[in-house]
Structure 1
C-alpha cells in the first residue's frame, strides 16, 4: 500500500508539473521589471526595429515542417539579407537582459521572450494597444531554416499562402501588416502606431503618375493587398475603425509570437 501511495503521489506530482509547463502570463513584479528595463534601453526611435525583429524571429515557423518560430534564433541569422539592420534591435534586447539582473524578472524570461515583448513594447510606446503577453519560451541554439520569411515581391495570393503555412489567416495577415505604420515606409508618422496604413492602402498613392515619390510608399507586397478579395474587407474595416484594428492586431501579434515556441 505504501508503494502504491508513493506511485500515486509521484504521478500526481508529475501531472502537476506537466500542467505548469507552458506559457505563463506576464504580470506583477516580473512585468514591471521588464517594462522598466525596456524603458531604460529603448526610446521611441527603436520601436520600428524592435517590432521588425519580433516578426523576423517568429515568422520562420512552418506548420508542416514543425520547426522554426519564436525562439530567438534570429540572433544567428543576421547575415541573411532579409535581416539587414536587425542587429540594432538585438543590442537593445541584450541591454534589457542585462538590466533585468537582480530584478524580479532575473532568470524568468528568455531572449525569445524579450524579442516578443520588445515588439509589444514598441507598439505600446508609439500609441498602439497594450498587448497581453506570455513568457516561458525556450531559446534556440542554432539558426532556423532559410527562406521562411515572405518576400516583398509576392502576390497577394502567395502572401496568403505564406502566412497560412505558418498557421495565420488572411485576416491576421492584414492585421499584422499594419505594423508597417511604424518606420520609414511612408504611412504617416513613422513613430506613431495607428491605422493610417490602411487608409493609405485604400487611397493607393503609388498609382498617381504625377507623383514619382509616391511610388516609394510601402512595399510591393503592401500594394497588392487592397486588390485581393480576401484581404480587402479587413483593410476597409481597419481603415474605418482604429480600435478594431488595435484589437485584432493585439490578438494576431500574441499568436505570431507564440508560433512554434517551445515552452519551459
Structure 2
C-alpha cells in the first residue's frame, strides 16, 4: 500500500459525491447465487502466495489504490485502450503487480458462477485473504460491490503521496470519510512490501536548505538508505523492504516509527499530532490493538463503492 504521487485537492462536495456508497453491501450477498465464492478466491490467493510471498503486499496495495480513486470498483484492474490511459498506467500505479492473482480468481469463480461475482468483491476478498496468509487477522467482508466502467490515469494524482505531511494526509483521508484513526491503522499496511528509492529519496538527499538528511530520521538508518540509494543511480529496481519482516503482517512498522526508522515522510508524520502519535504508540505496544483497528478501517474503506456492473473480464468493461 505505498503512496506514490500528489493528491488533487478536490472540493469536499465533489469527493463526497464520488465516494458516497452506491450499493448496499451485505455479508451474505452471494449465499444463494455463489455460495463457494469466498472459498474459491481464498484457495486461489493461497496457491499464488505459496509461490510468491510478495503477493499479499501487492494485493493490499492494489486494493487501497483502487478504493482511493473512484471507490472500490475495480477500476484499477482495467487495461488502457488506445490513447486512453487507465489507472494502472498512472505514475503511482506503474509498480503495481500481481494482477494475475485477481485474473485467476475471477476465472475460477466464473467457472462456478458465471456473471455473478464482481471483480471489486474479488479484490476486497483477496486483500483480506492476503492479510490472513501473512499472519494478520481475518474478518467478514461485506459484499455486493459493482465494477466501474471508468478508469483514468490522470485521476491517480488523487492518491496520497509518501512525501505528505500530516495535514495533507488528514485532508486526503477525510475527503473519503476516513478518520485519523483510519489513517494510522491503514498506514500499518506498510508493514508489508517493498519500496523503490523514489518514494523516500526526498528524506536522504537534499532534504532542505539546511539539512541534507531529514533530521527526524535516525542517522544510522539514513546512512544505510544512502548506500542503497545514492544520489545518482540508474538502478530501476533499487530500494528496500518496508520493514525487516516485510512478508509478515505485524506491528513492526509502528515500532520503527518510534525509533525514527520509517521510510516515508508520511510515515514519520504520524508522530506530528498528539492523537496520531498516541495511536502509533498504542499499536506499537499491541499487535492485537493494531489488528482490531486495521480490520475496522479496512471494512470502512472497502465499503466505498460506485460501480455499475459485474464484469465478465476484470481487465475490460462489458
Using structure 2 for the length normalisation, give the TM-score: 0.66
Give 2:182's aligned residue.
172
Q: 1:147 to 1:238 in 2, by over 3 A?
A: same
- Does the 8 Å CA contact 2:48/2:55 hold for their aligned counterparts? no
Q: State how many pairs are aligned.
A: 224
Match of 2:148 among 127, 140, 165: 140
Q: 1:106 to 1:238 in 2, by over 3 A?
A: farther
1:117 alignment partner, SS class:
helix
Residue range with higher mean Cα deviation, 227-236 or 121-130: 227-236
Higher-Rg structure is 1
In structure 1, list runs of 5 or more residues that go unmatched: 1-20, 61-67, 206-216
Higher relative contact order (CA 8 A, sep 6+): 2
1:196-235 pair list within 5 angstroms = 196-205=252-261, 217-235=262-280
2:88 alignment partner, SS class:
coil
Give 2:75's aligned residue.
73
Residue range with higher mean Cα deviation, 178-187 or 160-169: 178-187
Give 1:163's aligned residue.
173
2:288 alignment partner, SS class:
helix
2:158 alignment partner, SS class:
coil
1:37-76 pair list within 5 angstroms = 37-43=44-50, 44-60=53-69, 68-75=70-77, 76=86
- Does the 8 Å CA contact 1:23/1:263 hold for their aligned counterparts? no
1:118 alignment partner, SS class:
helix
More helix by share: 1
Residue range with higher mean Cα deviation, 238-247 or 23-32: 23-32
Give 1:194's aligned residue.
250
Q: CA deviation at 1:259?
A: 1.4
1:85 alignment partner, SS class:
coil
Give 1:95's aligned residue.
104
Q: 1:106 to 1:189 in 2, by over 3 A?
A: farther
Q: CA deviation at 1:58?
A: 0.2
- Does the 8 Å CA contact 1:41/1:96 hold for their aligned counterparts? no
Q: 1:77 to 1:142 in 2, by over 3 A?
A: same
- Does the 8 Å CA contact 1:108/1:136 hold for their aligned counterparts? no
- Does the 8 Å CA contact 1:41/1:95 hold for their aligned counterparts? no
Superposed CA RMSD in Å reads 1.9
Match of 1:181 among 181, 185, 191: 191
Q: 1:108-151: per-residue Cα shift (whole Å, max 9, x none)?
A: 32111111112111110000000210221111111153421111
Q: 1:36-63: per-residue Cα shift (whole Å, max 9, x none)?
A: 2322344333111111000000012xxx
Match of 1:33 among 34, 40, 53: 40
Residue range with higher mean Cα deviation, 229-238 or 47-56: 229-238
In structure 2, list runs of 5 or more residues that go unmatched: 1-22, 78-85, 195-240, 310-318
- Does the 8 Å CA contact 2:74/2:148 hold for their aligned counterparts? yes
- Does the 8 Å CA contact 2:38/2:125 hold for their aligned counterparts? no
1:224 alignment partner, SS class:
helix
Q: 1:107 to 1:188 in 2, by over 3 A?
A: same
Q: 1:138 to 1:186 in 2, by over 3 A?
A: closer
CA distance in 1, matches of 2:308, 2:268: 37
